[in-house]
């Protein structure tokens, strides 16, 4: 989807959420104040924070689509992750306030016997509010998944949680009215805990994106398949992608090519890959070259011996870039080591020692590659 259209969809969805939440705030605040219900008042405050979340989403979306500048050449796309973090902070604040006020309500009940007073219209209003909140939540989730917007997904999840909590509030109203039994403060604490849980989940997702997530394995596999389909590419290795906001990536990779190709032929391959990555995956890519030649028997036999050694080490995920330069007596290859290996350099040194023991007269150079996209 075009970024401008995506921005319009996010803004339009957020405005609908703002209007819907302010309506809910008005109704719930009215019922809560009239009835003296702390759980309904906290529910209204939670809806108010939802409206603020939508406002933050609009601002964040506008800022994230600013053009790159000299100071920020990678653009402002990651502001969306900061937006999600701010939304999470609002959710956590609402949850903390709900618990705090609910504890005060429990203390007040045991000291003064204070009970909220509900009328039939209160039940009708809260029931209607639950239906509206469910619709808002489903709408936000649908739009968030459709246009891949983390803030909208987060707001939708929060809204669906709110509808569940409002249902518990409704149950509390019915119990209080018809059974004259105090559950108000306890329901408020339950609401607060659910809100906190939702907030921590949103915060975890946002911070994980800021730190840098591993790309989906299916996405990486599809990229490699597309590149391997380009004539002249013998292998795709060391694919690294960095996200700079929605559908804005910068990365690098290595390809294997026949060592008999000339510079013009290699450049043709490189241009085809950069064009593919930019047009299909919206990624600016840098490409390194591995020369490959397994035509002679010595290279084949040596490679097989190296593979036999590597198979002893479960931490090694992949070998690539294998090349023997007879002119300078050099054997060179890269190893991708799992993050589960606490000492990858030691593993490489052990492999190098074993390779040196079985192949005389050659200098062995092993390059350590991290597992950025394999697992």
Q: At 1, is the pLDDT very low, low, confident or very high (cuts 50, 70, 90)?
A: low
Statement to judge: residues 183 and 237 lie in one domain: no
Which residue, chain included where needed, has tokens 């030649």? Answer: 293
pLDDT at 2: 66
For the cut 90, the answer to whether the pLDDT of residue 84 exceeds it is no
Statement to judge: residues 52 and 164 lie in one domain: yes
How does strand 283-292 pair with strand 330-337? Answer: unpaired
Of 211, 237, 271, which marks where a domain is finished? 211
The mean per-residue pLDDT over the stretch 284-301 comes to: 92
Count of structural domains, the chain: 2
- Position 294 in a domain: yes
In this predicted model, what pLDDT tens digit does every residue of 131-187 receive, in sequence order? 988 998 899 889 888 888 877 887 787 788 778 777 877 887 788 778 877 777 787
More confident call, 44 vs 349: 349
Statement to judge: residues 45 and 185 lie in one domain: yes
- Specify burial of residue 267 (Cβ count, 10 A radius: 0-12, 13-18, 19+): exposed
Statement to judge: residues 33 and 82 lie in one domain: yes
* Phi, psi of 284, rounded to the nearest 5 degrees: -90, 120
Statement to judge: residues 261 and 148 lie in one domain: no
- Position 143 in a domain: yes
Statement to judge: residues 14 and 33 lie in one domain: yes
**Beta-sheet strand order (sheet of 363-370):** 316-325, 330-337, 363-370
Statement to judge: residues 60 and 193 lie in one domain: yes
* Phi, psi of 268, rounded to the nearest 5 degrees: -60, -45
Q: At 17, is the pLDDT very low, low, confident or very high (cuts 50, 70, 90)?
A: confident
pLDDT at 289: 95
Distance, in Å, from the CA atom of 351 to the CA atom of 305, rounded to the nearest integer, reads 11
For the cut 80, the answer to whether the pLDDT of residue 302 exceeds it is yes
DSSP label at 142?
Answer: H
- Position 344 in a domain: yes
The mean per-residue pLDDT over the stretch 8-24 comes to: 89
The mean per-residue pLDDT over the stretch 80-107 comes to: 83
In this predicted model, what pLDDT tens digit does every residue of 237-287 receive, in sequence order? 999 999 887 778 999 999 999 999 999 999 999 999 999 999 999 999 999
- Position 49 in a domain: yes
For the cut 80, the answer to whether the pLDDT of residue 358 exceeds it is yes
How does strand 330-337 pair with strand 363-370? Answer: parallel
Are 330 and 324 a contacting pair, CB within 8 Å? yes
What are the tokens at 172?
């509390």
In this predicted model, what pLDDT tens digit does every residue of 27-71 receive, in sequence order? 888 888 887 777 678 778 878 878 887 888 888 888 888 888 889
Of 179, 211, 243, which marks where a domain is finished? 211
- Position 375 in a domain: no
User: To the nearest whole number, what is the mean pLDDT of the chain?
Assistant: 87
Distance, in Å, from the CA atom of 263 to the CA atom of 257, rounded to the nearest integer, reads 11
- What is the per-residue DSSP string for 234-297? -EEEEEEEEE-STT-EEEEEEEEEETT--HHHHHHHHHHHHHHHHHHH-EEEEEEEEEE---SH
The mean per-residue pLDDT over the stretch 346-356 comes to: 94
Domain CATH code at residue 315 = 3.30.70.1350
- Position 246 in a domain: yes
In this predicted model, what pLDDT tens digit does every residue of 316-342 receive, in sequence order? 999 999 999 999 999 999 999 999 999
Comparing C-alpha atoms, which of 162, 207, 169, 201 is closest to residue 185? 169
pLDDT at 332: 94
**Which residues constitute the domain of residue 40?**
3-211
């Amino acid at each position: 989807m075009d970024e401008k259209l995506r921005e319009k969809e996010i803004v339009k969805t957020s405005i609908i959420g703002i209007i819907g939440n302010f309506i809910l705030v008005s109704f719930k605040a009215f019922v809560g104040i009239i009835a003296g219900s702390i759980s309904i008042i906290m529910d209204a405050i939670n809806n108010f924070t939802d409206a603020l979340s939508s406002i933050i989403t609009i601002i964040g979306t506008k800022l994230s689509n600013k053009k790159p500048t000299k100071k920020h050449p990678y653009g402002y796309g990651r502001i969306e992750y900061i937006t999600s973090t701010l939304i999470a902070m609002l959710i956590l604040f609402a949850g903390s306030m709900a618990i705090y006020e609910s504890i005060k309500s429990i203390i007040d009940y045991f000291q003064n016997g204070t009970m909220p007073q509900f009328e039939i219209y209160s039940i009708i209003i809260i029931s209607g509010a639950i239906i509206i909140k469910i619709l808002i939540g489903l709408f936000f989730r649908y739009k968030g998944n459709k246009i891949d917007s983390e803030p909208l997904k987060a707001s939708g999840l929060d809204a669906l949680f709110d509808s569940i909590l409002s249902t518990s509030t409704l149950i509390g109203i019915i119990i209080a009215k018809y059974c004259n039994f105090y559950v108000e403060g306890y329901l408020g604490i339950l609401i607060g805990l659910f809100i906190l849980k939702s907030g921590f989940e949103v915060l975890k997702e946002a911070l994980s994106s800021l730190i840098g997530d591993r790309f989906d394995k299916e996405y990486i596999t599809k990229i490699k398949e597309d590149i391997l389909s380009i004539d002249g590419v013998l292998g795709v290795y060391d694919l690294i992608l960095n996200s700079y906001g929605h559908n804005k990536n910068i990365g690098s990779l290595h390809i294997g090519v026949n060592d008999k190709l000339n510079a013009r032929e290699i450049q043709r391959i490189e241009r085809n890959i950069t064009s593919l990555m930019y047009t299909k995956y919206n990624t600016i890519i840098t490409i390194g070259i591995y020369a490959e030649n397994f035509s002679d028997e010595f290279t084949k036999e040596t490679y097989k011996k190296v593979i036999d050694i590597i198979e002893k080490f479960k931490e090694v995920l992949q070998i690539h870039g294998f090349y023997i330069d007879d002119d300078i007596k050099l054997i060179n290859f890269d190893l991708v080591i799992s993050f589960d290996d606490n000492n990858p350099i030691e593993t490489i040194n052990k492999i190098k020692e074993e390779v040196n023991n079985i192949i005389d007269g050659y200098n062995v150079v092993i390059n350590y590659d991290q597992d950025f996209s394999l697992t």
